[in-house]
Amino acid sequence: MIASRPVDVTVVPVSFRDLVPEITASAYLTHGLYYYPAKFIPHAVRYCLQQFTQPGDTVVDPFAGSGTVGLEACLCGRRAFLLDLNYLLDHIIPLKIYQGRLALSPAVLEERLHAIFSGGTEFHPHWDTIGYWYAPEILAGLQRLWGAQKQLPHDTYALVLEAALLKVSKHFSYAEHRLPKLFRSKSKRLYIDGLLQGDWQTRLHRQLRTQAQNILEDVNELVEKLNGSVPALVHQGGVDSGSYEFRPGMEFQALISSPPYLQAQEYVRTFKLDLYWLGYKQRDIQRITALEIPYRKASRIVETHTLNAVRAHLSSAKLSGMLDSYFCHTLNVFDNAMAQLVRGARACIFIGNPRVDGLEVEIWRVFMEYFSDRGFECEAVLEDRIKARQLFSARKNKNPDGMKSEFMLILRKQ
């Protein structure tokens, strides 16, 4: 079905940072524990929670990523239902949204660190080309540390050490650790060569300890903030949210979500090293890679007024295919989750306007047109100027200007 006429809407400029001044830093509490490309700013999520939900409501995020919506929901006394294709979700959430009432003990962490430094059975990631990413002696050192970590009791301390080990495993690799995208650089190779001239092992252990202590402190700050209330949430990583089967009768009072970007949504590739260290196998990685949105063939062609105008402008079949795939699968995910919303509930979708073939694509407008034909009314479109949001890399791409604004599309279920 085509939205034959454009839908009228006024875009309102806002600053979520100004609207939610109580959040003073995007990485407050445990928001900064894991780095994740194209993370939501917590201010935007908090704004929607405050405007459109009540305490006790359940919010769904089918593109949960690093769980920004989950943490903000729990801090506001809402329940969260989080899904993502990335298996990492199930490693991030138990730590980022720690459900214990008691603070973690630095002394226990220190004991566990000792156990790790004493070594144990080596752990070998199931990746034939892992050697490409490391100097052989560093790889062997990390295999001992990970082996020992995997023998620890499966509790929150093990998760703290897992998160810290992920950070040092990237830092001590040939992969550029200051950028999200996984790639080897010449400067990083020189850096590692330099480390190998000195006592790299002591340095690695020191860094692991510092990272783990910082993570523990952040988790303890969260425990203090929650003051005895236990967050209520469900999370499931490794799922395609477009075909996820919600329990019959499951209802949500809001959706707050930020889908992948039209181009450069390489989440699985970005986290490959992490996923192999976590113990995922080649076939697990292949399974989720095949489900990642830009790499799948479209199973239907979405048509809306704006999308058809963009299509008419594109010069290459490859770009049209990418566009078809993106809208088909992103909208499958939203259709699936939004079917579970109660009447009157809002769907708050946060997305930028990327450039394709020199043309700015108003993704929010395509979504708005699509859903206005499917029982949703557009309540508002808020434009937020981007201050800092790290996407994937500074590589040359088809969008050299980057995106200057992001848009919060607010739809109301009729």
C-alpha 181/C-alpha 396 separation (Å) is 13
CB-based contacts of 159, cutoff 8 Å, min separation 6: 91, 94, 95
Q: Report the nearest approach of ligand SAM to the CB of residue 116 (Å).
A: 28
In whole angstroms, how close is the CB of 324 to ligand SAM at the nearest point?
Answer: 15
Binders of ligand SAM among residues 272 to 301 (CB under 6 A) are: 291-293
Q: How far is the CB of 278 from ligand SAM (least distance, A)?
A: 15
In terms of CB distance, is 33 or 223 closer to ligand SAM? 33
Residue 63 touches ligand SAM, criterion: CB under 6 A: yes
* Nearest-CB residue for ligand SAM: 65
8 A C-beta contact, residue 256 and residue 61? yes
| Residues of this chain, 233-252, that bind ligand SAM according to CB under 6 A | 240-242
Q: Does 231 bind ligand SAM (CB under 6 A)?
A: no
Pick the stretch among 52-60, 63-71, 117-125, 150-158 that binds ligand SAM (CB under 6 A): 63-71
Whole-angstrom Cα distance, residue 374 to residue 370?
A: 7
| Of the residues 72, 84, 162, 369, which one makes contact with ligand SAM according to CB under 6 A | 84
Window 369-398: residues binding ligand SAM (CB under 6 A): none
Comparison of 269 and 311: residue with beta carbon closer to ligand SAM: 269
Task: Kindly state the smallest distance separating residue 86's Cβ from ligand SAM, in Å.
Answer: 4
Q: Cβ of residue 331: shortest distance to ligand SAM, in angstroms?
A: 11
Size of interface with ligand SAM, in residues (CB under 6 A): 25
Of 30, 86, 270, 325, the one binding ligand SAM (CB under 6 A) is: 86
Residue selected from 260, 263, 353, 412 as contacting ligand SAM according to rule CB under 6 A: 260
Burial environment of residue 191 by CB neighbours within 10 A (0 to 12, 13 to 18, 19 or more): middle
Among 30, 53, 58, 68, the residue binding ligand SAM under the rule CB under 6 A is 68
Residues between 320 and 379 with contacts to ligand SAM, criterion CB under 6 A: 329, 333
Is 33 a residue that touches ligand SAM (CB under 6 A)?
Answer: no
- Which residue ranges make up the site for ligand SAM (CB under 6 A)? 36, 38-40, 62-63, 65-66, 68, 83-86, 240-242, 258-260, 267, 291-293, 329, 333
